[in-house]
Structure 1
Amino acid sequence: MSAALVQVRDLKMHFPIYAGLFRRQVGSVKAVDGVSFDIMAGETLGLVGESGCGKSTCGRAVLRLYDITGGSITIDGREIGHVPQSALMGMRPTMQMVFQDPQASLNPRMTVAAIIGEPLDEHTDWSKAQKLDRIYELMDQVGLNRQFAHRYPHAFSGGQRQRIGIARALALKPKFIVCDEPIAALDVSIQAQVVNLLETLQDELGLTYLFISHDLSMVRHIADRVAVMYLGQVVELAPREALYHNPLHPYTQALLSAVPEPDPARAQTPQSRIILRGDVPSPADPPKGCNFCTRCPQVMARCKTEAPIFREVTPGRFVACHLYETVN
Structure 2
Amino acid sequence: MFDGPKPLVSVKDLKMHFPIYAGFFRRRVGEVKAVDGVSFDIVEGETLGLVGESGCGKSTCGRAVLRLYDITSGSISIDDREIGATPQSDLRTMRPTMQMVFQDPQASLNPRMTVEAIIKEPLDEHTALTEAEKREKVGELMDAVGLNRKFAKRYPHAFSGGQRQRIGIARALALNPKFIVCDEPIAALDVSIQAQVVNLLEDLQEKFGLTYLFISHDLSMVRHIATRVAVMYLGKVVELAPREALYRDPLHPYTKALLSAVPEPDPSLATAKERIILQGDVPSPSNPPNGCNFCTRCPSVMDICTKVEPDYREVQPGRYTACHLYNDTAG
Correspondent of 2:208 among 205, 209, 225: 205
Correspondent of 1:177 among 177, 180, 190: 180
Overall identity of the aligned pairs, in %:
79
Counterpart CA distance in 2 for 1:82 and 1:107 is 30
Counterpart CA distance in 1 for 2:236 and 2:329 is 21
Q: Show the 5 A alignment for 1:16-35.
A: 16-35=19-38
Residue matched to 1:158: 161
Residue matched to 2:199: 196
Correspondent of 1:49 among 27, 49, 52: 52
Residue 14 (structure 1) aligned with residue 17 (structure 2): yes
Structure 2 gaps of 5+ residues are none
Is the partner of 1:292 in helix, strand or coil? Answer: coil
Counterpart CA distance in 2 for 1:287 and 1:51 is 18
**Deviation >4 Å, runs of 4+:** none
Residue 309 (structure 1) aligned with residue 311 (structure 2): yes
> Which residue identity does 1:27 align to in structure 2?
G
CA displacement 1:132-167 (0-9 Å, x = unmatched): 010000000000000000000000000000000000
CA displacement 1:108-146 (0-9 Å, x = unmatched): 000000000000000011110010010000000000000
Counterpart CA distance in 2 for 1:30 and 1:325 is 25
Cα shift at 1:288: 0.6
Residue matched to 1:64: 67
Cα shift at 1:2: 2.6
Counterpart CA distance in 1 for 2:71 and 2:16 is 5
Counterpart CA distance in 2 for 1:123 and 1:62 is 21
Residue 4 (structure 1) aligned with residue 4 (structure 2): no
Counterpart CA distance in 1 for 2:102 and 2:5 is 27
Residue matched to 2:275: 273
Counterpart CA distance in 2 for 1:14 and 1:327 is 33
Is the partner of 2:31 in helix, strand or coil? Answer: strand
CA displacement 1:291-311 (0-9 Å, x = unmatched): 000000000011001000100
> Which residue identity does 1:227 align to in structure 2?
A
CA displacement 1:165-197 (0-9 Å, x = unmatched): 000000000000000000000000000000000
Residue matched to 1:249: 252
Structure 1 gaps of 5+ residues are none
Is the partner of 1:179 in helix, strand or coil? Answer: strand
Q: Show the 5 A alignment for 1:227-266.
A: 227-266=230-269
Cα shift at 1:261: 0.1
Cα shift at 1:66: 0.1
Residue matched to 1:323: 325
Counterpart CA distance in 2 for 1:144 and 1:56 is 27
Q: Show the 5 A alignment for 1:23-172.
A: 23-172=26-175
Counterpart CA distance in 2 for 1:230 and 1:181 is 17
> Which residue identity does 2:142 align to in structure 1?
M
Cα shift at 1:264: 2.1
Counterpart CA distance in 2 for 1:36 and 1:267 is 35
Cα shift at 1:326: 1.3
Cα shift at 1:267: 1.8
Aligned positions, number: 327
Cα shift at 1:3: 1.6
Residue matched to 1:299: 301
> Which residue identity does 2:305 align to in structure 1?
C
Is the partner of 1:149 in helix, strand or coil? Answer: helix
> Which residue identity does 1:255 align to in structure 2?
L
TM-score by length of 1: 0.99
> Which residue identity does 1:158 align to in structure 2?
G
Counterpart CA distance in 2 for 1:193 and 1:263 is 23
Counterpart CA distance in 2 for 1:242 and 1:196 is 23
Counterpart CA distance in 2 for 1:157 and 1:130 is 28
Counterpart CA distance in 2 for 1:87 and 1:327 is 45
Residue matched to 2:284: 282
Is the partner of 2:153 in helix, strand or coil? Answer: coil
> Which residue identity does 1:135 align to in structure 2?
V
Residue matched to 1:219: 222
Counterpart CA distance in 1 for 2:162 and 2:52 is 24
